[in-house]
Amino acid sequence: MSVSERRVREKQHRIKDILQAAEKVFFTKGYESATMNEIAHEAELGKGTLYLYFKGKDDVHRAIVEKGMDILFDLIKESVKRDADGMAKLKTVWDSFMRFRNEYPNYCNAFIHYETKARGETEPDDLGRWMKYKVINFMIAAIEEGRADGSIRAELDAADLTLMIWAQMTGAIMLVRFKSALITNLSRVGPDDFLERFKRLVYENLELG
């Protein structure tokens, strides 16, 4: 192994160790209460060392969210059927997101918190970071496939529709996360039933009918 290869591997290991420590701190204390000092202590590193790899707490948080999105994408790959048309693949995204919410609540909550945290209206690389999510590219491809195979209305734009569905999914999960009592009292159903009804409402408008 060359010196450069060893340095890359060492960097990857160090980043992995920092993220594991950050997850323990964030998932235990919550994002707002956690500090870089606590992450450094948990990782058994100096605080200055953390800043060699991450710009700050928000940068660490984003890396954890990206890790969670990779987990979500793995759930999608595991669930999607080989012969599924575009619409079926798009529905798999929703079902996998609900499974992600139930089986990986810490990562889902980290994602929700990151999405709701104000970071400025015009971050220069916001689109680039969003497009790094493999699930986003999967959704765009599924919609384009659905338009071609007739399972999704052809006049719908894949990028616009992906953004709209992503907003609807995340919005519904945020509502369940923070307003579950409101849902139960107003809709007379539990959160899971509410999400299933929401899913039907969203996808029925996309099909040819």
Cβ neighbourhood burial of 72 (10 Å; 0-12, 13-18, 19+) = buried
**Mean pLDDT value across residues 167-193:** 84
pLDDT 10s digits, 19-69:
999 999 999 999 989 999 999 999 999 999 999 999 999 999 999 999 999
Contact criterion met (CB below 8 Å) for 53 and 11:
yes
Instruction: With residue 91 as reference, give the H or E element that holds it.
Output: helix 86-103
Q: Give the SS3 label for residue 93.
A: helix
Structure tokens at 92: 């798999």
Does residue 103 contact residue 71 with C-beta atoms inside 8 Å? no
Are 69 and 135 in contact by the 8 Å Cβ rule? The answer is yes
Whether residue 203 has pLDDT greater than 90: no
| Cβ pair 52, 10 in contact under 8 A | no
- Residue 164 CA to residue 19 CA, distance in Å, equals 31
Q: Which two tokens stand for residue 192?
A: 């899971």
Give the pLDDT score at 192.
84
Burial of 181 (0-12, 13-18, 19+ CB in 10 A): exposed
Residues 6+ apart with CB under 8 A from 51: 36
Q: Which CATH architecture is the domain 1-54 placed in?
A: Orthogonal Bundle (1.10)
Only one residue has tokens 């006049």, namely 155
pLDDT, tens digit, for every residue of 95-141? 999 999 999 999 999 998 888 875 554 555 666 777 778 999 999 99
For residues 145 and 90, give the distance between their C-alpha atoms in angstroms, rounded to a whole number. Answer: 10
The domains spanning 1-54 and 56-204 adopt the same CATH topology:
no
* Domain layout of the chain by residue ranges: 1-54, 56-204
pLDDT of residue 17: 95
Place of tokens 């139930």: 102
Q: Which of the four CATH numbers 3.40.50.740, 3.30.70.1450, 3.40.50.10320, 1.10.357.10 does domain 56-204 have?
A: 1.10.357.10
Q: pLDDT tens digit string along 130-162?
A: 777 899 999 999 999 999 999 999 998 999 999
How far, in Å, CA of 38 to CA of 190, rounded?
A: 37
